[in-house]
Each structure stands twice: as C-alpha cells, then as structure tokens.
C-alpha cells in the first residue's frame, strides 16, 4: 500500500466502502470488485486500497479471528505478524513478571501491541516505515491513551528502564522493505540489527521474536529460548532476557492447540534417549520440542526410545501419549517398497491413507500414486529409516492427549 492509497482509505467514504465490501477471499472476486467500484466512479487509489484491504482482512482471519474485520494491514506486515493467541500468551508473561509498560520496537501493523494493550499494559509502538506506523496507529486507536504509536527507528526509541516496570518487545523485520511481496533476508540484514537487539536485551528485560529456524549457535547463552508451535506448525522462536526469562529455564517448547497450551521447560538441551527396536507405539514429537532439543525428556516421560539416533521418531511399548507428541499404534513394519505396502493395504482393506515421512528422500504425493487404495478402513503410513534400513510403518493415530 502506498501513502496515497492509505490517505484515500482513511476517510469516512473509504472506511465505509471497506466495511460495506466485507472480506474478499478469492482472487477472482478481487478482480470483480475492482471493476464494480471503478464503474461506480471511485478513484483508482481508493479502489486499490479498499479491495486490497478486503482481501487482506480475509487472509488475516487465521491470525486475528474476528478482530481482522476492523483492522488494516500491509501484505508484508500480515506475513510477519504474530498470531493473536500467541501474542496474548506473551502479554501474560510480561504481566506475570511485573511489567506495566512495554516498548514495541518494530511494531509492524501492531499485532503484538494489540495483545499487550488488551492485557492492560501501556504500550509505545514504533515502526520505521511511515505507512506501517500509520496502520498500527489505526489498529491501536480503540485503546486510546494506553497505546502511543511513533514513526521512527528502534535505535532512537529505547526506553528508560530504570524503574523496573518497563520492558521491550522486538520483532525484527526479516524481509526486504516494502508493503507487498517481499523476500526473506539473512540475519545480518534484520532491522533493527540483531547484534544491536541482543546488546539492548542484555541491559533491559526484552522479548525478541525470531524465525523458528534461527541458528541456535547465534543465540545468547544466558537467555531463555522458547520455541512456539500453534496447531501443529512451529511459528516462532522468542528470546527472553532479564526478568522475562524464568529462573533455571534456558530451553522451552510451548505447544498451543486451539485454546489449550502445554509447555515443556529445561535448564539445557535434553540428552537423547537410547535407540531401541520398534515397539507397539510410534511417537512423533511436536516441532517445538524438536527445535528446543527436548526430545529426550519427552521420550523418558513415555518410557520410549529413539527409533534412529538421527531421526526424531520415538517408539515404546507403553500405551502412553502426551501433548508434546502425535502417537500412533503400530500395525506392522514393512519394507519401504510399493509391492509390500500394497499387499498390507489390501489385507487391511485400507482406502484412506495418511502418508508421513522423515529421514527418507521421497515425495509422499508421488509415492501415493504407486499405491492401491480400496476399502473402508483408514490408516497412517510412516516412511522412515531404522538404522541402515528404509522401512514403512503402517499405524493408527492415537487420540491426542489433553
């Protein structure tokens, strides 16, 4: 979005037109809306802004739920924005630590700041991009004086934290500048610079959001590092410092499923469990557990061992599961070739098959075309390595633990 489009949108006519239009999910509907609004005599800038926002509001529902209906976005800002449910848990951590004021340095469209103000914190939100900061100001306007938005750079807006009640939140821009299609950049091109962010965090209680695949060796050794997954996807890594880092915790995996959340914490990476033969159950650790390197702790809680020392599958004989894994009851183990698998599928009358793989260079979609699926039963096929062998494990999902 360009500033001319934003100015056209932030008028009574523009906002009323946007509300009347409602969210637009399909690309084909975008083109029809543009044609209809242009035929009605609306300016190109207004039409572009209104239709673009209607489409982004539809996409934003996954992160912001019903709040998306009254928010404004940039495409790049929405891509990097924290899911509201995840941001709310960050806000709870700040409150539990005794923080009452937070400076959101690099606030983007204001997604995290929404959660902070909603939790009763005073927020100063700063962004280096003029259009983005204006959109953040619009999104935070309902909170009145509790939220202040500034157009500026993070380096010039570090708060005085001498009172002990102020903290910093940073979500460094990890994409090229712009409001539309952008590309990811390397960590030495983040804005604000990551070295600067870590230096500030060493002095002031701070939470720094990073991509979940960030180089672990480049993280501060004395901080708490928390990997977060939401509904099966690892969505972020947060580095917590000062009073925001919990005593004795250096690694944590926060697993969120719907409204439920579960957390695994440790003082360091967990030692892996020993490798053992395939048992009655196979367990796939959540991605946050894998990233946090806490697989061994989960294995011991399940009386399980590693299926292979280099592959993140666990196996056990005990009928145990946990919120930190997806568990499967093993039917049989087979050679990983279509002939053997098809014989088993036929014998069990399996017509619906979920295919998972780890440690094998295989395309599940292409592999499926080699299988014959007939019957009313369903199962999961897990393609993996067990030592030097390529194996296929036919299994059934165990209901998730709560």
Which residues pair with residue 332 across a beta bridge? Answer: 394
- In DSSP terms, 252 is beta-bridged to 226, 265
Q: Give the CATH number of the domain where residue 243 resides.
A: 3.40.50.150
Tell me: do 297 and 261 sit in the same domain: no
* Residue 402 lies inside a defined structural domain of this protein: no
pLDDT digits 0-9 by tens, 313-371: 999 999 999 999 999 999 999 999 999 999 999 999 999 999 999 999 999 999 999 99
Q: What is the pLDDT of residue 179?
A: 60
Shared-domain flag, residues 10 and 85: no
- Residue 372 domain-assigned? yes
CA distance 103 to 166: 8
In a domain, 200, yes or no: yes
Q: What percent of the chain has pLDDT over 70?
A: 97
SS3 (DSSP) at 373: coil
CB atoms under 10 Å from CB of 157, counted, come to 18
Q: What is the mean pLDDT of residues 276-304?
A: 97
Show the tokens assigned to 114: 């929404």
* Domain co-membership, 42 together with 96: no
Q: What is the pLDDT of residues 229-269, one digit of tens each?
A: 999 999 999 999 999 999 999 999 999 998 899 999 999 99
pLDDT of amino acid 161? 85
Q: Is the pLDDT of residue 176 over 90?
A: no
Judge whether 204 and 198 are in contact, CB under 8 Å: no
Same domain, yes or no: 256 and 117: yes
Strand 122-127 and strand 147-151: the pairing is parallel
- Same domain for 337 and 259, yes or no, is no
Q: Across residues 72-86, what is the average pLDDT?
A: 93
Could you tell me if 257 and 320 lie in one domain? no
Together in a domain, 123 and 150? yes
Q: Is 394 helix (H, G, I), strand (E, B) or coil?
A: strand
In a domain, 272, yes or no: no
- Residue 187: the pLDDT is 72
Residue 398 has pLDDT above 80, yes or no: yes
398 and 331 Cβ atoms separated by less than 8 Å? no
Locate the DSSP E strands across 95-142.
Answer: 101-105, 122-127
pLDDT at 177: 62
Instruction: Indicate whether 6 pLDDT > 80.
Output: yes
Closest CA to 125 of 151, 144, 99: 151
The rounded distance, in Å, linking the Cα atoms of 145 and 163 is 20
- Judged by average pLDDT, the poorest of 180-194, 200-214, 310-324, 368-382 is 180-194
Question: Is 360 contained in some domain?
Answer: yes
| pLDDT-derived band at 190, boundaries 50, 70, 90 | confident
How many separate domains does the chain show?
Answer: 3
pLDDT for the residue 402: 57
- Please check whether residues 63 and 82 belong to one and the same domain: no
Q: Mean pLDDT, to the nearest integer, of 51-76?
A: 94
Query: Quick one: pLDDT at residue 27?
Result: 85
Lowest mean pLDDT of 201-210, 300-309, 393-402, name the range.
393-402
Query: What DSSP character marks residue 276?
Result: -
Work out the mean pLDDT of the chain and round it to a whole number: 93
- Do residues 66 and 87 share a domain? no
Within 10 A of 302 (CB to CB), how many other CB atoms are there?
22
- Candidates 344, 381, 334; CA nearest to 362 is 381
Domain boundary among 19, 53, 72: 72
Q: What is the pLDDT of residue 248?
A: 96
CA 10 – CA 386 distance, rounded (Å): 60
Tell me: pLDDT of 228 over 60: yes
Of 18-22, 126-130, 195-199, where does mean pLDDT reach its minimum?
18-22
Check whether residue 256 and residue 290 sit in a common domain: no
- By residue range, what is the domain housing residue 35? 3-72
Q: What percent of the chain has pLDDT over 90?
A: 87
- Tell me which residue of 133, 126, 121 sits closest to 87, measured CA to CA: 121
Strands 251-257 and 281-285: unpaired
> Can you tell me whether residue 58 is helix, strand or coil?
helix
Q: For residues 96 and 115, give the distance between their C-alpha atoms in angstroms, rounded to a whole number.
A: 15
Residue 276 lies in a domain: no
pLDDT computed for residue 178 by the predictor: 61
Q: How many residues does the chain have?
A: 402
DSSP class of residue 95 equals: H
For 231-343, list the strands marked E by DSSP.
233-240, 251-257, 260-266, 281-285, 305-308, 311-316, 325-335
Average pLDDT over residues 268-273: 96
């Amino acid at each position: 979005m360009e500033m001319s489009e934003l100015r056209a949108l932030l008028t009574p006519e523009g906002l009323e037109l946007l509300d009347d239009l409602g969210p637009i999910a399909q690309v084909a509907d975008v083109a029809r809306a543009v044609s209809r609004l242009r035929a009605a005599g609306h300016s190109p800038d207004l039409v572009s802004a209104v239709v673009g926002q209607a489409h982004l509001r539809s996409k934003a529902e996954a992160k912001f739920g019903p709040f998306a209906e009254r928010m404004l976005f940039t495409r790049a800002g929405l891509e990097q924005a924290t899911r509201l449910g995840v941001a709310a848990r960050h806000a709870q951590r700040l409150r539990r630590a005794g923080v009452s004021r937070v400076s959101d340095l690099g606030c983007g469209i204001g997604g995290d700041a929404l959660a902070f103000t909603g939790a009763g914190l005073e927020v100063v939100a700063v962004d280096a991009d003029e259009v983005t900061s204006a959109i953040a100001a619009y999104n935070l306007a309902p909170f009145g004086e509790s939220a202040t938005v500034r157009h500026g750079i993070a380096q010039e807006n570090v708060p005085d934290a001498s009172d002990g009640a102020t903290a910093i939140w940073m979500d460094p821009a990890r994409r090229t500048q712009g409001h539309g299609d952008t590309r990811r950049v390397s960590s030495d091109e983040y804005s604000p610079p990551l070295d600067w962010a870590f230096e500030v965090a060493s002095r002031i209680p701070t939470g720094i959001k990073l991509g979940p695949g960030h180089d672990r060796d480049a993280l501060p050794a004395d901080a708490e590092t928390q990997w977060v997954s939401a509904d099966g996807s690892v969505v972020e890594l947060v580095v917590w410092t000062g009073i925001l880092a919990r005593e004795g915790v250096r690694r944590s995996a926060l697993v969120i499923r719907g409204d439920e959340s579960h957390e695994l914490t440790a003082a360091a990476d967990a030692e892996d469990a020993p490798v053992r033969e395939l048992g009655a159950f196979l367990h796939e650790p959540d991605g946050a557990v894998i990233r946090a390197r806490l697989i061994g702790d989960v294995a011991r809680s399940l009386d399980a061992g590693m299926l292979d020392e280099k592959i993140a599958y666990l196996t056990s004989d005990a009928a145990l599961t946990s919120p930190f894994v997806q568990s499967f009851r093993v039917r049989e183990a087979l050679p990983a070739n279509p002939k053997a698998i098809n014989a088993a599928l036929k014998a069990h009358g399996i017509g619906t098959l979920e295919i998972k793989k780890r440690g094998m260079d295989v395309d599940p979609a292409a592999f499926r075309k080699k299988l014959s699926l007939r019957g009313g039963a369903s199962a999961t096929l897990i393609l993996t390595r067990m030592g030097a062998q390529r194996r296929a494990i036919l299994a059934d999902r165990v209901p998730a633990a709560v």
